[in-house]
């Protein structure tokens, strides 16, 4: 069945998040989660080079690969999965308990954004 919103693509789980009707939802949500993670890291390490930190975060490839269904990407994060690469990245800067709190906050942000998406 084609998407009820755009009528252009078959509606599957990935298309729900990438449908042109939703505009930049995926990018906005990714950036919100990224900023939450980076802000937390910077709060623990105020002298860290934020540009380098941002580049290293992006190098994980969560956003770049979202069109490839056979590669772990940000849509998998929305589903509730956390990659080892993301955990290892965060654990370079934070303790395990801080990691858990941070992931919880990131999912709160994702859930809030998803709720707003369905209100549109």
Q: Rounded distance, CA 30 to CA 63, Å? A: 7
Distance of CA 14 to the CA centre of its chain: 14
Cβ contact 25:115 at 8 Å: no
The answer as to whether 90 is a domain residue is yes
The rounded average pLDDT for each run of 10 residues, N- to C-terminus, in the chain (120 residues) is: 84 79 81 94 97 94 71 83 93 96 92 76
The answer as to whether 18 is a domain residue is no
Cβ contact 28:113 at 8 Å: yes
- Number of structural domains, the chain? 1
The answer as to whether 9 is a domain residue is no
- pLDDT of 39 reads 96
3-class DSSP assignment, residue 65: coil
Q: Rounded distance, CA 13 to CA 39, Å? A: 30
Structural domain that includes position 89: 24-119
Model pTM score: 0.82
């Amino acid at each position: 069945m084609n998407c009820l919103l755009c009528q252009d693509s078959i509606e599957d789980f990935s298309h729900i998040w990438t449908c042109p009707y939703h505009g930049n939802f995926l990018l906005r949500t990714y950036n919100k989660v990224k900023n939450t993670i980076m802000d937390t890291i910077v709060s623990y390490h105020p002298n860290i080079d934020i540009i380098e930190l941002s580049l290293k975060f992006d190098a994980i490839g969560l956003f770049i690969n979202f069109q490839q269904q056979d590669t772990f990407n940000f849509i998998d994060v929305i589903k509730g999965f956390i990659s080892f690469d993301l955990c290892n990245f965060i654990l370079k800067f934070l303790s395990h308990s801080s990691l858990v709190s941070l992931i919880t906050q990131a999912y709160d942000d994702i859930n809030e954004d998803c709720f707003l998406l369905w209100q549109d």
